[in-house]
Structure 1
Amino acid sequence: MRENHTPPASRSRTAVVFGIVLTIIGLVLAVGGMQLVSLDGSWYYLITGVALVLSGVLLAASMALGAWLYLLIFICTIAWAIWEVGFAFWPLVPRLAPVLVLAFFCFLLMPRLRGGRGRAACWSLAVLTLAALGLGGYGMLQPHRAIKAGKAQNTTQAVSAPTPGEAKASTWQYYGRTPAGTRFAPFAQINKDNVDELEVAWTFRTGDIAGKGAEDQGTPIQVGDSVYVCTPYNKVIALDADTGKQRWKYDPDTPDTGIWNRCRGVGYYDAAAYATGPGAAALAARTADVAADSDAPPRETGAAATRPVVNGAKAATDADVAHAVDAAGGSCAQRIFLTTLDARLIALDAKTGEPCAGFGNRGTVDLTAGMGEIPRNFYMPTSAPTVMRNMVLVGGWVYDGKSVGEPSGVVRAFNADTGELVWAWDLGNPAITKLPPPGETYTRGTPNVWSTPAFDDKLGLVYLPTGNSTPDYWGGHRTALDDKYSSSVVALDIATGRVRWSFQTTHHDLWDYDVTSQPALYDLPDGNGGTIPALIQLTKRGQIFLLDRRNGKPLATVEEKPVPQDVQEGDRISPTQPYSTGMPAIGREPLTEASMWGATWFDQLWCRIEFRKMHYEGEFTPPSTRKTLQYPGNYGGFNWGSASIDEQRGYLFVNDIRMPQWLRYISREEADAPNAAASHDGLHVQAGTPYGVTKNTFMSPLGVPCHAPPWGTMAAIDLQKRQVVWERPISTLQDTVAAGGVKVGVPVPIGMPTMGGPISTASGLVFFAGTQDYYLRALDAETGEVLWKGRLPVGAQSTPMTYVSPESGRQFVVVTAGGARQSPDRGDYVIAFALPQK
């Protein structure tokens, strides 16, 4: 045996330092472990903590027995970790990484200890441990928890490029490209073979950088040779589709809300296709009068001329005549519709950007008409208006969690030529079909429609995704009609606005499970050579409901399942909730203590303790005065970004968010305290109810989510087989800001929460940009493999779009990039990618 020639003093100091480190770690784990055991949690941390303390004391005394004890801890930890989470990579990282790092130093130290032997063996073990850490580091750069497509699931059909005629006719006219909201583009110029050649074709800066409370979530539309963009502050800009050069810009002078500035899109209408005004004689008689009173504002700033508003039928009659003047003069034959954060509906000439004098009053309709009192920022349309036939449909966002009796969730259809109110759907009073009677208002506090509808013109139905009644987390005051239409998809008759059918995704919603995604309409093969008109509705719950869009009946099995009933006194709860068991559910596996995660041993232990402290019985755990865990959280699941359907392959593409939240009822006195700060996150005052609510995301003290990754994925679902084809984490840590304000800088594909939605093309590509790293990605529709990614100057929250220019014949993919939600980097970019010109 070779003698150990390391000086005794050196051996002693090294062992003492390492022993002290182990002892401190052990004490922390033991104390936390004791608390966890008292909450009926895992015994691992208590046992390991005590063993580490003993090991540390022995090592500080330079006794080899301390190293052997640590080796036993090391082996037992590996066994326990595999027993608890199997071989899932990310759950193993915080369980094994600490013991591996400590084992490396322990093996190096062993030959220096009294009675220590086998320097070569110990160093070999240290090298093996270091190699294991290296493999772990490599593993962190690979995607995990991915479901890969199998050959049996591949249903790809041959796809041909569109003919030149089809290419010239291509438009992205609606928020979801068509009224069906499938975000499917029948173009194949950019395909799997050449997508890696994509380059920036043009970039436009809007000059409207999103500040506090503002986010760029807009999807441009394209008609003919123009692309139309709106900014978070409601400015509208028309761009040349080939060059990105500005054609006109309109500024409605919308006040900054400071809390929720959004503009997800604009609407387009061809007035010439729906000529409705009065006859030529009336036109001739009124032309001079209307022309004299229709001063159009300058293209850059003409807000003052749009401030007067039309508020009823008489003013609309005058607007009828003014519209006829527009049509006769050739102006406003094509229109862009904009809703503003201060509740205006504005019609602009698509060619010039000037307000349409014949619409409402000088181009503007007042959306506050009939609404009653609206405190500042309590009502604002944020999603694109829906143009259907010769009408424009408008819903609105209401301030979450403020009080009972907030502004109505009424949905209204206005004549797209004149601005006249055609019909209104008041969810709380079916008798109101237009403006309320004098002295009355639309029913306050009803469910609203803040996201984007879809419509089927052939069936004559428009499909509305509804929210829940205000405030979100208390329902003791809600009416039967509130409960009937809350968190549902509702089909209205396009012509009359009357309800034809409704389907509810959450009964008596106490969790803010609004239906936020646009319904997607798709003709599903029936297996006999025909099709069934289907509607696919995503939900925040991660549930996907497949319905017959003619009558709302489920095409895939929906089961009512019992849910927890321990509701707070004064409220009520539904005994069952609907589960779409005939379709895959994405990211809704119930949380357990073993699901808890962290960047280190310590914050994982903290998350376990907090999980055990909270009340959690699944996704329908009722809110209460106890701290309650909600998963999926109120962000989703699926949110407003909505789905895309490859209409040729029958694949549904969805991206999700996996961010649990905790919430707790607080007393009326606490909620009403003068220093209480109310916000979209944090405190919901819920004035008029017995309780306020305090809530936030469930994060560790290090700012890391308390549950294991991924926290956001992209998935493909075969709509005929009704099974997942592939699923993969989406987004990396590259641009995530860590502690100290420094970006991680390493593209770890952990799967971050997503925003926006995907689009798909006939060439088998899926484009997505709503990640927290700064990329537009192109994925293989059949496998989910990332075929290309284009770097963006800042992150994006928007859904991209694509079109084929009628002038050049080039296919462009366009995305707006104003900054990812959690990033300090902000911008004002509209970026178009295309293949190199030849």
Structure 2
Amino acid sequence: MSHLLAPSPAPVPWLARVIGGVLLVFGFVLLAAGGWLASVGGSWYYALTGLCWAVIGALMWGRLREAVFGYALYFAATLVWSLWEVGLDWWPLGARLGVPFLAGLALLVLVPTMRRHLPADDPRRVTLRSPPGTALTLVLVAFVVVALFAMSQDLHAVEGSMPDSPKASASSASAVSGIPDGEWHAYGRTGQGQRYSPLAQITAANVGELKLAWEFHTGDKRGRPGDPKETTFEVTPLKVGERLFLCTPHQTVLALDATTGRELWRFDPQVRGELALQHLTCRGLSYQPPADPMAAAGAQAGACAAKLFMPTADGRLIALDPATGKTCPRFGHNGAVDLWAGMPNVQAGAYYSTSPVAVSSRLVIVGGTVLDNASTKEQSGVIRAYDIETGALVWNWDSANPEATAPIAAGQKYTPNSPNSWSVASVDEALGMVYLPMGNQPPDQWGGKRSPAVEKYSSSVVALDLATGQVRWAFQTVHHDLWDYDVPAQPVLIELRLKGQDGPPVPALVQPTKQGELFVLDRRDGRPVLRVTETPAPQGAAAGDFTAPTQPVSAISFNPPELTERDMWGVTMFDQLWCRIAFHKLRYEGRFTPPSTGGSIINPGNFGVFNWGSIAVDPVRGIAFTTPAVLAFTSQLVPRHDDTTQLVQDDGKPTGALPALNENFGAPFAARMKPFTSPLGIPCQAPPWGTVAGVDLTDGRVVWRHRNGTVRDLSPVPLPIRLGVPSLGGPLMTAGGVAFLSGSMDDYVRAYDVNNGRQLWESRLPAGGQATPMSYLGADGRQYLLVIAGGHGSTGTRPGDSVRAYALEKR
């Protein structure tokens, strides 16, 4: 050993000293941060890595053989530890081993330099054939072999094939809706919200041949003065006759020729003035067909036998003639109903219907959105039904005063701050009910002063009698909601025959939720068709509040697995360490962990496993195409000492009339909510964050599930790496066995085989496609796929103004 203490006969290569210095510095950093992690019960790996790197870095300055051999031992131990933590799941594995592998590779490249710079008899001399060099080579090669095998696997995929025995006939499904197969008359094609086209011209065999047939630019992009951050192009157009009808973010209504994309007319509702907007969007229009075929002729003379209904950002409901784009003067006052009538706390822009209204043969039924978490003095969440011909108020249902459904008297006001229904309702005229997905009362994260009626109807699906507005039944999806788990998606109505069931099918309702449940209910009485279990929930709410002891879980649940420290992720070991530390600093006891003043992890976050895009259901086969997303958020309650100070405007105070969101003026706490990400802005939980999944509704089975989308438009380097990204905007299913989705956070529209979830086709979009596609038959006999590409302000996808139609080549 005496030779180790002798003076160096030759200087250590400068590159060795550089690498040694880097390892030494980062070693001390890892030792300090990893020591903190270990002290709170976390993994010891990072502290031990820091110690190893510091020792190896010091050895690099004089004892190169020991340094290389020591690194080989360290890397072998890291490989074993990584496999123990995450197995052969490549992306978590790569995050743990990427930096150590590159450092080891640098050492391996340095080995020949060590040989050249040192005399043959120098004890520090290292070669690739010497024991240290061989050891390092072997462990690095072992990692490459493991990596290649892990990359070939997808441990998160569920493989399977849908049953192909029909539960009904396609012709009978079309007959029930009364809508021609080639048309699309409502947001979900029909009032049942299925997002299913009975057209079968495009199939799994030929979808790869789809080409862009035409493209139209509306001229309406986000970025105008007064636009809120969430200015979005989310519309799903209607197709009636040979025309398409759509609305833009700034409320312009357009009619296009469905076969050529040529503009036929344009209506500007003249929304003016500064508006206190949280959202600026129009998800779609609503259509009232003529009462009889002969009435259509009268429409040309301005009689408005048919109508389009458009809610505006300044609180009006406008009725338009589909033939001319002019207002229908018999409806309301000169073609419009004032939605501010009877509304408390009037503030232009703070209340309007962002979603298309529901239509029955007699009524147009309107809900609306209110500002989320701005104050405790917001508008009412009242649901109102108007006569479809005259616009006269027929009934109103206020969830905080649910028995009083007779039209409100002049001079009276609806209940301030009552739960609202901002998403899309569904209608069953045969049963005489409208089905409402309900929100909750602001503030979302603190509910210490909610009334019994508010508690009963918050975050529920509620069935109202079409004739009277009285409650027929209600099913609550979250008890005492403190997580902004309002019901975001349109209920889907389907005649469902369960596996092994005899007799007629059940008139069912499928309700997707933000927390990942697909509740399947009997829409006649709200009783579960598939099992619902009340499960214990974490306790310990903020001061003055409480938590429900249990929460409902459906037999079909996409509830993400409970997070652990080993689920923390990052591009490198360093941001993964940051996420591990953050995981231990925040409160987390699984799903329904209450918000707290110290900060809590909310998984899934209020982005939702499912959101307003809902799901697509094939009524013929009884199957669903779904798009589950998983993104954890953090929620911190900030104590308020007055009703005016802005506490959580981390991006600066809002300008103009735009509201200060999440301040909760009038409540004990403001709320700071954001995605659970590393300092690099990357989710702290490992991918996939977005998938597509096929569900057999007849037995509640998830048949297949696969990653969806790439990080091409999310990362600084545009690499099309298929991690699986969230989508915002619903899917479309067709009778041809193909599903379409454009809402992923990369700018693509994709086609999937509904039988097994295999991706069949994709097309690059000029902007984010955060809307639900639709399909129709053109005058040329071709089936078209229509996609909106305009981007979404909150998610930061690329803005645009495109309406794109795809079709197969003419034969």
User: Are the aligned partners of 1:767 and 1:778 in contact in 2 as well (CA < 8 Å)?
Assistant: yes
2:617 is aligned to 645
Query: Residue in 2 aligned with 1:550?
Result: 524
**1:60 counterpart SS class:** coil
Give the superposition deviation at 1:170.
2.5
SS in 1 for 2:34: helix
Match of 1:696 among 654, 671, 674: 674
User: What is the Cα deviation at residue 550 of structure 1?
Assistant: 0.8
Judged with a 3 Å threshold, the aligned counterparts in structure 2 of structure 1 residues 621 and 569 are, in CA distance, closer, same or farther, namely same
Cα distance change of structure 1 residues 79 and 187 upon mapping to structure 2, 3 Å threshold? same
Q: State the Cα distance separating 1:336 from its structure 2 match.
A: 0.7
Summarize the Cα distance change of 1:274–1:826 in structure 2 as closer, same or farther, 3 Å threshold. same
Residue 466 of structure 1 deviates from its aligned partner by: 0.2
2:548 paired residue number = 574
1:180 matched to 2:192: yes
Q: Deviations over 1:626-659 (max 9, x none)?
A: 1111111011111001000122332211112222
Q: Is the 8 A contact 1:143 1:750 kept in 2?
A: no
Partner of 2:128: 119
For 1:731 and 1:664, locate their aligned partners in 2 and report how far apart those are by CA, in whole Å: 31
Amino acid at match of 1:75: A
Task: After superposition, give the CA deviation of every residue in 1:503-530 in whole Å (9 maximum; x if it has no partner).
Answer: 0010111111000011111111142253
Could you tell me which of 451, 460, 473 is aligned with 2:432?
460
Write the distance in 2 (CA, Å) between the matches of 1:766 and 1:138. Answer: 31
Identify the residue that residue 200 of structure 1 maps to in structure 2: 212
**CA deviation map 1:61-97 (0-9, x unaligned):** 2431111111111111111111111211111111111
Give the 3 Å change call, closer, same or farther, for CA 612–675 of structure 1 in structure 2: closer
Give the Cα–Cα distance (whole angstroms) in 2 for the partners of residues 682 and 139 of structure 1: 50
Task: Label 1:192 to 1:437 Cα distance change in 2 as closer, same or farther (>3 A).
Answer: same
Report whether the alignment pairs 1:665 with 2:637.
Answer: yes
In the alignment, which residue of structure 2 is the partner of 1:786? Answer: 759
Contact 1:142 1:748 in 2 (8 A): no
Instruction: Measure, in 1, the Cα distance between the counterparts of 2:511 and 2:419.
Output: 17
Is the counterpart of residue 399 in structure 1 residue 377 in structure 2? no
Shift of 1:372: 2.2
Q: What is the deviation of 1:707?
A: 0.7
Contact 1:17–1:60 (CA under 8 A) maintained in structure 2: no
Would the alpha carbon gap of residues 99 and 405 (structure 1) be closer, same or farther in structure 2, given more than 3 Å must change?
same
Q: Aligned ranges for residues 509-588 of structure 1 at < 5 Å?
A: 509-526=481-498, 527-580=501-554, 582-583=555-556, 585-588=557-560
| Maintained 8 Å contact 1:189/1:811 | yes
1:535 Cα offset (Å): 0.8
Q: Pairwise mapping of residues 213-292 of structure 1 onto structure 2 (< 5 A)?
A: 213=229, 214-255=231-272, 257=275, 259-273=278-292
Letter in 1 for 2:279: W
Alpha-carbon distance, 1:266 to partner: 0.2
Q: Is the 8 A contact 1:619 1:632 kept in 2?
A: yes
Find the counterpart in structure 2 of residue 150 from structure 1: 160
Equivalent-residue separation in structure 2 for 1:240 and 1:136 (angstroms): 56
Partner SS state of residue 625, structure 2: strand
Deviates more, 1:710-719 or 1:107-116: 107-116
The yes-or-no answer on 1:714 pairing with 2:686 is no
- Structure 2 Cα separation of the partners of residues 484 and 604 of structure 1: 42
Equivalent position of 1:361 in the other structure? 333
1:132–1:812 Cα change, 3 Å: farther
Q: Does 1:607 find its partner at 2:579? A: yes
Distance 2:796 2:19 in 1: 39
Maintained 8 Å contact 1:683/1:695: no
Q: Cα–Cα, structure 1 residues 159 and 245, in superposed 2: closer, same or farther, change >3 Å?
A: farther
Matching residue of 2:357: 385
Q: Deviations over 1:564-601 (max 9, x none)?
A: 22112211221111111x22x22521111111101111
Match of 1:191 in 2: 203
2-structure distance, mates of 1:274, 1:562: 56
Cα distance, 1:50–1:156 mapped onto 2, change above 3 Å: farther
After superposition, what is the alpha-carbon deviation per residue over 1:454-499, rounded to whole angstroms, capped at 9, x for unaligned? 1212111111000011111111111000000000000111111110
- 1:616-635 equivalences under 5 Å are 616-635=588-607
For 2:66 and 2:259, locate their aligned partners in 1 and report how far apart those are by CA, in whole Å. Answer: 75
> SS where residue 347 of structure 1 aligns?
strand
1:400: Cα distance to partner? Answer: 0.4
Partners of 1:97 and 1:594 in 2: how far apart? Answer: 16
Q: Which amino acid is 1:184 matched to?
A: Y
Residues 142, 711 of structure 1: CA spacing in aligned structure 2 closer, same or farther, 3 A cutoff?
A: farther
Match of 2:120 in 1: none
Instruction: Report which stretch shifted further, 589-598 or 210-219.
Output: 210-219
**Bigger shift: 113-122 or 356-365?**
113-122
Matches within 5 A, 1:717-756: 717-738=695-716, 744-756=717-729
- The separation in 2 between residues aligned to 1:142 and 1:329, in whole angstroms, is 65
**CA offsets 1:414-441 (integer angstroms, 9 cap, x no match):** 1111111111111111343244334431
Matched, 1:446 2:418: yes
Q: What residue in structure 1 maps to residue 41 of structure 2? A: 40
Q: Is the 8 A contact 1:271 1:416 kept in 2?
A: no
Letter in 2 for 1:470: P
Task: Name the Cα RMSD after superposition.
Answer: 2.9
Residue 330 of structure 1, CA deviation: 5.2
Q: Which runs of 5+ in 2 are unaligned?
A: 1-7, 116-122
1:776 paired residue number:
749
The answer for the alignment partner of 1:491 in structure 2 is 463
1:119 partner SS = coil
Deviation at 1:14, TM superposition (A): 2.1
Structure 2 contact 768–797 (Cα < 8 Å) conserved: no
Matches of 2:97 and 2:601, distance apart in 1: 27
Aligned to 2:50: 49
Closer/same/farther in 2, CA of residues 624 and 358 from structure 1, 3 Å limit: same
> Kindly, what percent of the aligned residue pairs are identical?
42
- Could you tell me how far apart the structure 1 residues matched to 2:642 and 2:134 are? 61
Q: Distance in 1 between matches of 2:559 and 2:259?
A: 40
The one-letter code of the counterpart of 2:390 is: T
The more displaced of 745-754 and 826-835 is 745-754
Aligned to 1:802: 775
TM-aligned CA distance change 1:430 to 1:736, over 3 Å = closer
Are the aligned partners of 2:625 and 2:731 in contact in 1 as well (CA < 8 Å)?
yes
Q: Who is 1:20 aligned against?
A: 21
In structure 2, do the counterparts of structure 1 residues 836 and 340 end up closer, same or farther at CA, with 3 Å as the change threshold?
A: same
Please state how far the C-alpha of 1:116 moved relative to its aligned partner. 4.3
Looking at structure 2, the residues matched to 430 and 157 of structure 1 have their Cα atoms a distance apart, in angstroms, of: 41
Contact 1:713 1:730 in 2 (8 A): yes
Q: In the aligned structure 1, how far is the partner of 2:504 from the partner of 2:202? A: 31
Q: Could you tell me how far apart the structure 2 residues matched to 1:615 and 1:275 are? A: 65
Once the two structures are superposed, what CA deviation does each residue of 1:598-632 show, in whole Å capped at 9, x if it has no partner? 11111100000011000111121112211111111
Q: Which amino acid aligns with 2:805?
A: A
Q: In the alignment, is the contact (CA less than 8 A) between 2:519 and 2:530 conserved in 1? A: yes
Contact 1:161 1:187 in 2 (8 A): no
Which stretch shifts more, 114-123 or 704-713? 114-123
In the superposition, the TM-score normalised over structure 2's length comes to 0.90
CA 717–328 in structure 1, closer or farther in 2 if over 3 Å, else same:
closer
How far residue 825 of structure 1 moved from its aligned partner, in angstroms, is 2.7
**Per the alignment, in what secondary structure is the counterpart of residue 684 of structure 1?**
coil
SS state at 1:523 partner: strand
